[in-house]
């Protein structure tokens, strides 16, 4: 499978425009799930508490970044498994978990991410996007490497590209180096 590093924007699909024709939206973690993950992670282990000495870790609870000295919850999260429970899909061997950082205590969660917009604090030089069908099967993905001299699509452009395939139901965004799960997006049109 190839990993495109450039894409062309179709007129009228500029996701920075609030009138965007984006077919996706960010799916924040619900408060009850965040409360569960602060106690026990998706492997069944007790969630670890860590002191963030440097700051800058991506916080999955509120789409912010940690600050130096802050106490964080560090947990394993299985987004495809949880999505499959909601939808009746069967991810089979594609089920996986990844590390997430959360505020150790309720922070109020995501302040609201507009349709077709990606949370700025979850951006980075290198991201991987993985597209899944409604049945829970992987359909492909993209490696976004903004450090390359030839550039790469923005995250919004990559998401638009993947959601152009009508079979794509959800796309997960992860950090390349550590595999941290960052954002789940879901199709907004039928």
Helix (H, G, I), strand (E, B) or coil at 126: strand
Report the distance separating Cα 2 and Cα 169, nearest Å. Answer: 21
Q: Count how many domains the chain has.
A: 1
User: Which pLDDT tens digit goes with each residue over 2-43?
Assistant: 333 333 233 333 334 433 467 899 989 999 999 999 999 999
Q: Which domain holds residue 32?
A: 24-109+120-187
User: Which pLDDT tens digit goes with each residue over 142-171?
Assistant: 999 988 777 778 899 999 999 999 999 999
Residue 88 in domain? yes
User: Which pLDDT tens digit goes with each residue over 115-126?
Assistant: 778 998 898 889
Residue 114 in domain? no
Residue 96 in domain? yes
């Amino acid at each position: 499978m190839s990993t495109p590093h450039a894409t062309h924007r179709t007129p009228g699909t500029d996701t920075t425009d609030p009138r965007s024709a984006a077919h996706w939206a960010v799916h924040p973690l619900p408060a009850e799930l965040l409360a569960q993950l602060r106690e026990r992670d998706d492997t069944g282990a007790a969630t670890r508490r860590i002191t963030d000495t440097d700051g800058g870790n991506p916080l999955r609870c509120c789409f912010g970044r940690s600050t130096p000295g802050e106490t964080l919850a560090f947990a394993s999260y299985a987004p495809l498994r949880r999505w499959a429970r909601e939808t009746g899909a069967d991810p089979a061997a594609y089920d996986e978990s990844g590390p997430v950082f959360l505020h150790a205590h309720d922070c109020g969660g995501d302040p609201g991410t507009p349709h077709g917009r990606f949370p700025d604090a979850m951006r980075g030089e290198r991201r991987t996007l993985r597209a899944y069908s409604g049945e829970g099967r992987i359909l492909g993905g993209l490696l976004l490497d903004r450090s390359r001299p030839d550039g790469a699509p923005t995250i919004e452009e990559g998401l638009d590209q993947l959601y152009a395939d009508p079979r794509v139901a959800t796309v997960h965004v992860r950090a390349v180096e550590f595999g941290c799960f960052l954002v789940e997006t879901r199709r907004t049109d039928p």
